[in-house]
Structure 1
Amino acid sequence: MRIYVTSIFVDDQDKAEKFYTDVLCFKVKNNIPVGEHRWLTVVSSRDPEGTELLLEPSDHRAVKPYKDALVADGIPAHSFQVEALDAEWKRLVGLGVTFVQEPMDAGPVRMAVFDDTCGNLIQLIEMVQSTTVSP
């Protein structure tokens, strides 16, 4: 079994598509009209057959309080792995991305957290030590 798709709630699919593709360099995998919204998924440009991220509209009444609480508490909605955190941080800052946590050491990882402009905090992770999980 593997993860096929996971979702992140976004305030505006058009804005999210632009941010996740133009800034984060993901690629659109699916863009299918569904009523007033779209089944809009993106994938890593480095792993186009990998897990899809659904840019899910934030319309459900439970979503806004949930997202607001996560942001207020500084909790990222998702974590994305990068190979060189400092270089990615500099690139994103150069593109105007707002970071709420600059790169820092956190045990076996280096991490930073940014605002995705769509109502979420996103964590970037660079593995600095090998971590193994036993089955």
Structure 2
Amino acid sequence: MPKVSYCSVFVDDQDRALHFYRDVLGFELKHDIPMGPHRWLTLTAPGDPDGTQLLLEPDEHPAVKPFKAALVEDGIPATAFGVDDVAAEVERLAGAGVTVVQAPSPAGPVTIAVVDDTCGNLIQLFS
């Protein structure tokens, strides 16, 4: 049976992405392997080193940047992450200088919010 091993987020700057996803959101570095001008850069959820890896992938393919721009223009997140308490997490992130695009709001059985990852993406948080 297949399982999700990697989830890619296309980023315009791998160093800035590493800072945001590791130092601000709290993911843990799994791999940082040089690959020519870029890196194989993956992170995992805190305390889950064998879990699904988030791949911070360079957005250099010609189709990616227009796709990312269209998603942002339409307010569509590139991916979503579950958190224990979305309101508390958004408060923490806003205090760290993260741009909150959509404040926590109910969406059926969950509460969602959207933040800017500083690398060309919107990221949804939910609890």
Q: TM-score range by the shorter chain?
A: over 0.9
Instruction: Name the SS for the 1:119 alignment partner.
Output: coil
Runs (5+) with no aligned partner, structure 2: none
1:88 aligns to what? Answer: 89
Instruction: Report the Cα distance in structure 1 between the residues aligned to 2:81 and 2:17, rounded to whole angstroms.
Output: 16
**Structure 1 runs, 4 residues or longer, greater than 3 Å off:** none
Aligned residues: 126
Question: Which AA in structure 1 matches 2:7?
Answer: T
Runs (5+) with no aligned partner, structure 1: 127-135
Q: RMSD across aligned C-alpha pairs, in angstroms?
A: 0.6
Instruction: Name the SS for the 1:89 alignment partner.
Output: helix
1:133 aligns to what? Answer: none
Deviation track 1:30-81 (CA, whole Å, cap 9, x = no partner) reads: 1111111000001111322110010000111101100000000000000000
Question: Which AA in structure 1 matches 2:99?
Answer: T
Question: Which AA in structure 1 matches 2:59?
Answer: S
Larger-Rg structure: 1
2:3 aligns to what? Answer: 2
Deviation track 1:84-116 (CA, whole Å, cap 9, x = no partner) reads: 111111100100110110000000110000000
1:64-75 aligned at under 5 Å gives the runs: 64-75=65-76
1:114 aligns to what? Answer: 115
Instruction: Name the SS for the 1:59 alignment partner.
Output: coil
Percent same amino acid at aligned positions?
60
For normalisation by structure 2, the TM-score amounts to 0.97
